[in-house]
Amino acid sequence: MFKGFREFVLRGNVVDMAVGVVIGAAFGGIVTAFVKDLLTPLIAAIAGKPDFSAYLFEVHGSKFLYGDFLNALISFLLIAGAVYYFVVLPVNALMARMKKEPAAAAPDKKTCPECRSEIPIAARKCAYCTFAVA
């Protein structure tokens, strides 16, 4: 009974996924702090008011808190922008710099000097015009 569970837990992809979740949670905290502590005050310094939660309207006694939605939307856009510009672009640039160009494969065809057809490299006669190829 425990043998199957142990095999499941110790499988590489389960451990990798667990590590990814833990690292992702920690990274989420960093991004949230970056947006809350640096980007939002910067926008507040430029635009004036960083908190829209007080904005609402009422219809027949029902309150529509569109300010909370604006806060969530702005927060999402700031987090998405921070992740894109500070994580995705640098990682893509690093990966492109590390990527090696594949070596050019040796040609497997040559051109017949008589009829200009493509023939295998090892051929001694052209299959199309029967010209002797060196």
Convert the pLDDT of each residue in 10-68 to its tens digit.
Answer: 776 777 788 788 888 998 888 888 877 887 788 778 877 667 778 889 999 999 988 88
pLDDT at 62 (0 to 100): 92
pLDDT at 60 (0 to 100): 92
Which residues, 6+ apart, have CB-to-CB distance to 58 below 8 Å? 64
Higher pLDDT, 121 or 19: 121
The CATH-assigned architecture of domain 2-98 is: Orthogonal Bundle (1.10)
In the chain, where are the structural domains located? 2-98, 107-134
pLDDT at 12 (0 to 100): 67
Answering whether pTM is above 0.85, one says: no
Question: Which amino acid is present at 1?
Answer: M
Question: Mean pLDDT over all residues of the chain?
Answer: 84
CA distance 66 to 73: 10
- Are residues 31 and 80 in contact, defined by beta-carbon separation less than 8 angstroms? no
- Is 102 in a helix, a strand, or coil? coil
pLDDT above 80 (res 114): yes
